[in-house]
Chain A
Amino acid sequence: MIELRNVFKIFAGRTAVDDLSFTVPRGEIFGLLGHNGAGKSTAIGMMLGQVWPTSGEVKICGHDVQTNRRDALLPVGAIFETPVFYDYLSGARNLEILSTYTAPTSRARIREVVEWVGLTGREQSKVRTYSHGMRSRLALAQALLPKPELLILDEPSDGLDPEGIHEMRQTILRLQRELGLTILLSSHLLNEVEQLCTRIAVLQNGKKVFEGNVADVKSARGKVALKTSDFAKATKLLHERGLITAMELEKYISLAEGRSTADITLALVAAGIPVDGIWQHEQTVEDFYLNLIKPPAAKK
């Protein structure tokens, strides 16, 4: 559905996107992660033909965005971080205006979409009277109007309250479930990405530093949580015996190659150190991401 191949973007001598390549297959919810300035929005801009790549190829549904923008963007809907509309016009008028930039859209279709996003009854009100949540719904409505196959969401939960974030998350899942859309999601909310995405790519300084399945990230060998009355004494002993390689936060240990939690338990019990609990800590996307983007010196 989306294919980026060796894409570079240089702004005034500064490389914003550096040899970026990835593909998003049909039906997937793909997360694009990275700190501010990592190149996420530039990459999305290039997918939408708003930013011209310095070199490389960007294809949507097999169409090159640079040379065949019209066909490439026909099946695409997009939402940006801060939903902006013509505040002095009604929600319905905004939808009518935006739809004409794609294809003629019937009033029935506008009504259908308004109902889908839950704005029925407020569509004739001026957008300036809308709350942030309602604007987000209107943004979703405009993205859905052309019956897209691909949705590109650039920080869709930005500025929403926890209830709004939850609602947006449920909506994204509903979009994929009910409409079968392929979704590319750029977000700072790693918890949200973990719950929504099937695959992620992490950008750092314009470069892709990771691409893989969320399930793999979560099941990757991670830390072991150890609960004991004397963590310092326990880890000193385990370290001396070569059973662990690192510890952190008075709670986690990293096992040495070939060692298991049973080995740890046996060693501690034999030394008379009580073990209140020991379990494999499931790595979250947040743990993974933070570890990935840490400067090398800070990594353990």
Chain B
Amino acid sequence: MFLAQLKNELWKLFGKKRTYIGFGAFVVAQTVMLLMFKYTRWQGQFERLLAGNGYLASDYISALTVALIMLVPQILLLMPLYVTLVGGDLVAKEAEDGTLRMILSRPISRVRLLLVKWVAGTIFSAVLVLALGAIALGFARMLFPWKGMFVVGELPHQIFALFPPGEGLRLYLFAHLFMAVNAVAMLSVAGMFSCFNMKPAAATILALSFLFMSMVMEHIPFFEAYQNWFITYHFAAWVLVFQTPVPWPQIIQSEIILLAVSATAFVIGAMAFQMRDIKS
């Protein structure tokens, strides 16, 4: 029965147009970034950086390198927006539309209903991240060759690394697994707010405010010693897979914290949802 409910929840989620706003925005943003990289001085900067460090630029200005370059701003800016948009809808949109009242006239428990919705949201988050990675790589491959991967910059960890294509692809895929965990944590926070008596837009805005506030505070020098306490600090764990050697303890710690945040948000949301009165 849980699977049947989950299947139907996915029908509801993927049946509405607003679910695809994120996918559409990624396609547009990636097309713009790809063309800018190809036809502006942006590409030249990377070539000079590689040459300055004694590497042949033509070996590393590749589909994998460009895909990762395109990914970073989208993971930081667009992904939270679209994931929290769906997370904010989880309960609040059904309450606003009136369909929640119809569902709750049936003998399903609220916790079970929320669990089904949360699992559907988790699947959406994973699909969104995978689509983001696949679109970035697919688009980049259309204009750039399949060669080695070059990773550079404050992402926010200082990284300068070069990988052969096979290893680069493996790390690229690995990074997406951790990005999906980020997306689930963002969705869970928005889903938690959505369980309270508020409009879906309010739940999304609250979740985004929470994330941006965490990011701002994390970067205030006073809080440098407490960075571990901010959720956004742990969102950067995916970048660590490109470090050599890979700091697995740090990555695992961040992933556990993000999963714990997701679980906590779910429990708080479930309690709020269970206690509230559902009225027309």
Q: Which one of A71-79, A207-215, A283-291 is at the B interface?
A: A71-79
Which residues 1-27 in B have Cβ within 8 Å of A in the complex?
1, 4-5, 8, 11-12, 15-17
| Contact partners of A204 in chain B: CB under 8 A | none
Let me know if B277 and A51 touch, CB within 8 A. Answer: yes
Knowing A52-B277, A89-B12, A100-B5 touch, does A73 contact B106 (C-beta < 8 A)?
yes
B98 touching A84, Cβ below 8 Å: yes
Instruction: State in angstroms the CA–CA spacing of A100 and B98 once bound together.
Output: 18
Cβ contact within 8 Å between A152 and B109: no
A104 within 8 A of B: yes
Contact A97 B8 (CB under 8 A): yes
Given contacts A84-B98, A88-B16, A104-B1, contact A70 B105 (CB under 8 A): no
Contacts of B103 in A (CB 8 A): 98, 101
Query: In the docked arrangement, what's the CA distance between A152 and B102, Å?
Result: 12
Task: Answer whether residue B278 sits at the interface, using C-beta atoms and an 8 A cutoff.
Answer: yes
Question: Are A93 and B11 in touch, CB under 8 angstroms?
Answer: yes
CB B55 to nearest CB in A, in angstroms, measures 51
Chain B positions 32 through 48: 1 when the CB is less than 8 Å from some CB of chain A, otherwise 0? 00000000000000000
- Asked if A51 and B102 sit within 8 Å, CB to CB, the answer is no
- Nearest residue in A to B98 (C-beta to C-beta)? A84
Please tell me which stretch of A27-35, A41-49, A113-121 contacts chain B, meaning at least 4 of its Cβ atoms lie within 8 angstroms of it.
Answer: A41-49
A interface residues, how many (CB within 8 angstroms): 38
- Contacting B at CB under 8 A, from A39-90, are 41-42, 45, 48-52, 69-74, 76-78, 80-82, 84-86, 88-89
A50-B11 contact given A84-B98, A86-B99, A102-B107, CB 8 Å threshold: no
Chain A residues, CB < 8 A from B5: 100-101
Chain B 227-280 residues near chain A, CB threshold 8 A: 275, 277-280
> 0/1 per residue, A267-289, Cβ < 8 Å to B?
00000000000000000000000
CA distance A36 to B4 in the complex (A): 39
For A116-151 the 0/1 string (1 means CB < 8 A from B) is 000000000000000000000000001000100000
The answer to whether A97 and B109 touch (CB under 8 A), given A42-B279, A45-B279, A80-B101, is: no
* Residue A96 interfacial (CB < 8 Å): yes
> Taking the nearest CB of chain A, how far is it from the CB of B278, in angstroms?
4
Interface residues in A9-43 (C-beta closer than 8 Å to B): 11, 41-42
Interfacial chain A residues near B108, Cβ < 8 Å: 101-102
Q: Which residues of chain B have C-beta atoms less than 8 A from A41's C-beta?
A: 279-280
Q: Does B104 contact A (CB under 8 A)?
A: yes
Contact B12 A70 (CB under 8 A): no
Return chain A residues, CB-CB under 8 Å to B154: none
Count chain B CB atoms within 10 A of each CB in A49, A74, A82 and give the residue with the most: A49
* Cβ contact within 8 Å between A96 and B105: no
Contact between A86 and B279, CB atoms less than 8 A apart: no
B224 at the interface (CB under 8 A from A): no
Task: Give bound CA distance, A72 to B104, whole Å.
Answer: 13
| Residue on B nearest A82 in the bound complex, by CB | B98
CB distance from A59 to the nearest CB of B (A): 15
A98 to B4, CA, bound (A): 11
Q: Which residues of the other chain, B, contact A100 by a CB distance below 8 angstroms?
A: 1, 4-5, 8
Taking a contact as CB atoms under 8 Å apart, the answer to whether B107 and A142 are in contact is no
- Given contact pairs A102-B106, A102-B107, A142-B102, A45 touches B15 in the complex (Cβ within 8 A): no
Bound CA span A86–B98, Å = 10
Which of B1, B97, B105, B107 interacts with A50 by CB under 8 Å? B105
Q: Are A69 and B17 within 8 A (Cβ)?
A: no
Decide: B277 and A45 in contact? CB cutoff 8 A: yes
Enumerate chain B residues within 8 angstroms of A78, measured Cβ to Cβ. 102, 105
Which residues of B are found within 8 Å of A77, using beta-carbon distances?
A: 105
Q: A42-B279, A50-B277, A86-B12 are in contact. Are A101 and B106 (CB under 8 A)?
A: yes
A50 touches B279 (CB 8 A): yes
CB-CB under 8 A from A71, the residues of chain B are: 107
Residues of B within 8 A of A52 (CB): 275, 277
Q: With CB as the reference atom, state the residue of chain B lying closest to A53.
A: B277
Q: Taking the nearest CB of chain A, how far is it from the CB of B113, in angstroms?
A: 8
**B278 A80 Cβ-Cβ under 8 A:** no
Cβ–Cβ < 8 Å partners of A89 in chain B: 11-12, 15
Residues of A within 8 A of B109 (CB): 69-70
Q: Is the CB of B4 within 8 A of A48?
A: no
| A-B residue pairs in contact (CB < 8 Å), sample of 19 | A48-B105, A50-B277, A50-B278, A70-B107, A72-B107, A74-B107, A78-B105, A80-B102, A84-B97, A84-B98, A84-B99, A86-B16, A93-B15, A97-B8, A97-B11, A98-B106, A100-B1, A102-B106, A102-B108
Identify 11 new A-B residue pairs, CB closer than 8 A, beyond the known A74-B107, A93-B15, A101-B103: A48-B104, A50-B277, A51-B279, A70-B109, A73-B107, A80-B102, A86-B12, A89-B11, A89-B15, A96-B8, A101-B107
Give me the interface of A with B, judged by CB distance under 8 Å.
Answer: 11, 41-42, 45, 48-52, 69-74, 76-78, 80-82, 84-86, 88-89, 93, 96-98, 100-104, 142, 146, 152
7 cross-chain pairs, A with B, having the tightest CB-CB distances, nearest first: A84-B98, A78-B105, A73-B107, A101-B106, A50-B278, A97-B8, A101-B108
